[in-house]
Amino acid sequence: MLSLTVRRMASSHRVAVLLAGSGVYDGSEIHEASAALVALSRHNAQISCFAPDKPQLHAINHCAGAPHEENRNVLQESARIARGKVTDLAQLKVEDFDALLVPGGFGAAKNLSDWALKGPDCTVDPTVAQTITQFHAAKKPLAFCCIAPHLAAKLIPGCTVTVGSADSQGGKWPYAEVAGAIEKLGCKHVEKTVAETCVDEENKIVTTPAFMYEGAFHEIHDGVSKMVEDLLKLC
């Protein structure tokens, strides 16, 4: 039994998690990030958290939904989720990892890119773009949830992703217009429920809607967990 345990630990996958701050409105969505970290841990993955060392676009008062009069740093805010164990993204070496996972939250569209300001005409942060394209070039799997799939759509032409539904369905999908915006980049959008994933096997990309859907916490957790399972299957 001991030797079996040792073999399992030796074969665990090394996954880099790219964070964008802390908090749904200006950073990584905390529940999505936590769900991903829990699922990776359950699968005995070796987890390393990274974030760009740069100023946030802005900081949001999450009670009022309005900007603070202050500056914050993406790396420092991401450390709140990573329990202090976060590394500057510029130091990530793709050869040291088997996969990359990017949680959602507005930080993905404000700090990792400027999608929140420019939509399909956005520019991806150079270090973020380099990291994602290097993983893809190395044929290593990538996972994105919530709004983060726009990064794959922008950087990997012709890929297939999901952000859920293109129909708001009475407000259950409040960001439904993102599906059409993503298709303007030349990729394919596939309709999925919050519990489902979209797996682009050719490009090794796994996506799930997460909080693009106005669902319960356990629904988002379950969808993100499935994303992690499908990601690790591609390793």
Which residues are within 8 A (CB) of 9 and not within 5 positions of it... i.e. 6 or more apart? 44
The answer to whether 122 is a known catalytic residue is no
Q: Which of 145, 146, 159, 198 is catalytic?
A: 146
3-state percent helix, strand, coil for the chain, nearest multiple of 5: 40, 20, 40
Q: For the chain, where are the E strands, in sequence order?
A: 14-18, 46-51, 60-61, 66-67, 86-88, 99-102, 142-145, 160-164, 188-191, 198-200, 205-208
Given the structure tokens 């990573």, which residue do they identify? 82
Spatial CA neighbour of 39 closest among 227, 235, 234: 227
> Active-site positions?
146
